[in-house]
Each structure stands twice: as structure tokens, then as C-alpha cells.
Structure 1
């Protein structure tokens, strides 16, 4: 139960309901709000403080953490939206889907052995031309409902963006040459220039998805922003 309260409080912070530097309701108020014991709230708040979401100040209360971070941010954007924005017709095809347990035929380094994983392979098209290959792993301990989704109408990336909360994402971007297998799928010559993006999304400390995109170099572009988050320390 405390894990559910932890996610609920973190969700309020991530959605901007509680801003950096803002004082949270006290534990008694949160206990009443969520209908759980104060002990459960206390444990959830303590974990969020340990993970850097909150700052606890004696006799003053609990506050949303503040600080200063400089980073380069890549957007998590649905490929269908990108294609539509360019005035083109988007399509996708699911090529394969399977369920494994981590360590049994597949390995996700950040998950314990035995964790159930859904694997998806998808091809994305713009005006009928393939532009991106996607191979995705989904942590079924975090997103069990994805098993019941057919993806007949909605692509995996769109479904996940719309339904699954995430708090951070790590990207690895590389310039690569298409293998013979990928070249055949993407309709290019073997060795063609491609952009490889590996991304892992997290919700709090739990991995949600691990995905690898391979995009044809002259059919895809990527942009991001340099972001500075700044705030002053609370004078308490």
C-alpha cells in the first residue's frame, strides 16, 4: 500500500500539482486524503525523500525538493505525431510480440531475474515508406494491463505515452550502419546511415520500458533542448 501512496504523491509532483519548494500537507492530512494509516504515509514520504523528490525539515514540514540542474533533454514524442505534423500519413505494423521472464531468453539488466516482460517489435511508416524500426521491452510488474492491449489501432509508443506515468528517461544515441536484416525491413541498402536511439524510462525507481529505435538517417530528425532548472533554497 505504501508504494501506491508513494506513486500518488510523486504523480502530484510530476504533474505540477505541488511545485518545487511547496510545503506538502502533513502526514495526518495525507492519511485522511488517501484513506490510509499515518504509518503508511510516513513510509512513502520517507522513501520519496530518500530518492530526492522531497526535503524533510524538522518542525517545518515536508517540501518538494528544489535545486539546480543543467541537462540536455530529448523529447519523448510519439512518432505518429511527428509524421502527422509534417503533413504525412502515419501507419505502423506489429511484427512480433512475446512474453518472457527476465533471464530466460532475454536480459534486461536493471530488472531482477524472473520479472515478466512483454517484447514488441514494430515498424513505423510515413506515406507508406518505412522510417523506423522499434524493439521494445515492457515491465509487466509495472504495466500489467498492456497484456490485454491488441495494438490493432494504437501504436505501443502512443499507448504508453497516454497511459503510463514516468519520471525520468535515459537515452543513448548513436550513428550506425544498417545491417542486412534491418536494411531489408527499412527498404534501404545494407550499410545505409541510420540513427540508433536506446531509451529506458523509469517511474520513480522502477524501470517501465526499454526500447531501441533504428531510424533511416535521411528520413528522420531528432531535436532537444538545453534546460536549466533553478530554485533557491528555502529559508527556514
Structure 2
């Protein structure tokens, strides 16, 4: 039996470990293999730790910004808090947008506010908002602040009236500033993402060639949650620290 074990141990030295084998496979990718190997196996942990540190520092900044009376300190030692901040840590771990990480911190602290700590919907709302980019988080608030107007479409026999937030009015709200994007903003594409997450619905008709949108109930709650989280303040802090 001891001879068999010695043989097995000897064979193991000729069999590459799974990680070593995987690294060899990544490194063998033409042109990009070496860079990808370094990113995945050498830099990934450092990036994750740095991002979570940013999340925690941003959480501390947010707590200092708001009055102690607005926080439910007991909530931050609850299972819900554990669930919320594990989710946020996972989202932040490999997030390249530092603005998004700051936003996540603001959203997490909002869950523990006295206004929201007893809200049974907060973790569902947080889950949806955590999927959005920093641009989409702000666009959702812009849509919510856009006035609802009546639009109509006519045919020979039918007239349809729909109340919605129309694309040209959303664009007008965006022009008021401040700008939260660089380059060209593809508004419709971002609105489609919000619709895919059941935060918006597209109106059944267009009006003056413009699509219209309405907030779902979840969208209304999410937009209100994001507004209370004061993401504009989060943006200001990132710019001042960069």
C-alpha cells in the first residue's frame, strides 16, 4: 500500500495543478494572452480590494454627511444589512466606474435610514438599482422629474389619448444640466435598459414622432429611493476627490 501511495505522490508532481493549467491556457491565447493572464491572476484581487475599500470609504463619507438622527443604527447590525452590503460589495468588486461605486454606497446607507429601514421593498429596489450604470441611475431620476403630458394619435376612425413622459421633454430636462455623461448620450438605448428592468414602460403610441414612457410602480419607488440617496452629492464628492 505504501508503494502505491508513493507512486501516486510521484505522479502528482507531473500533473499540473488546475490553476497552473488554467494560467497556461490563458497565456497561450495569441496576442493578448500575457496581458490577460496578468490581469486575471495577478491584478484581480488588488482591484477587488481597492474597489471595496472605495465602497467602504464612500459609505463612511455618506454617514458623516447626514445627521445621526436620520439613521437606524440597529439596522446596520441586522441580516438585512448583511444582505444589502454583500450585494453592494459584489457589485463594486470589479466595477470600473468609481462614480457607480460611490452611488452604491449612498444607496446602501439609504437602506439604513429611519425612512427606509422598515420598508419591505428596499432590498428589491436596491437589487434593481445596483444593475444600473451611474448614467442610468441619474436618467431614471430625470424621467421621474419630467412632466407627464397628454399625447394623441388619430386615424380616420380612432383617436387615442395617452399620458406619458415624451422623449423630447426628457431631452429638454437633460439639457438643463448638470451633465452627467461624456461624449454622446444614447438616451433611447439607456431608456430601453430601464424598461428591461421593469422600471419604465413604453407608451403604446408615439406623439409628434416621439416615443413616450411611463414609470412602473417599481420605477416610481426606485426613482424616489435614488433621489433620497442624493446621488448628485455623490457625484460632487467624486469630482472633488479626483
TM-score by length of 2: 0.24
TM-score by length of 1: 0.24
Larger fraction in helix? 2
Larger fraction in strand? 1
Q: Which is greater in Rg?
A: 2
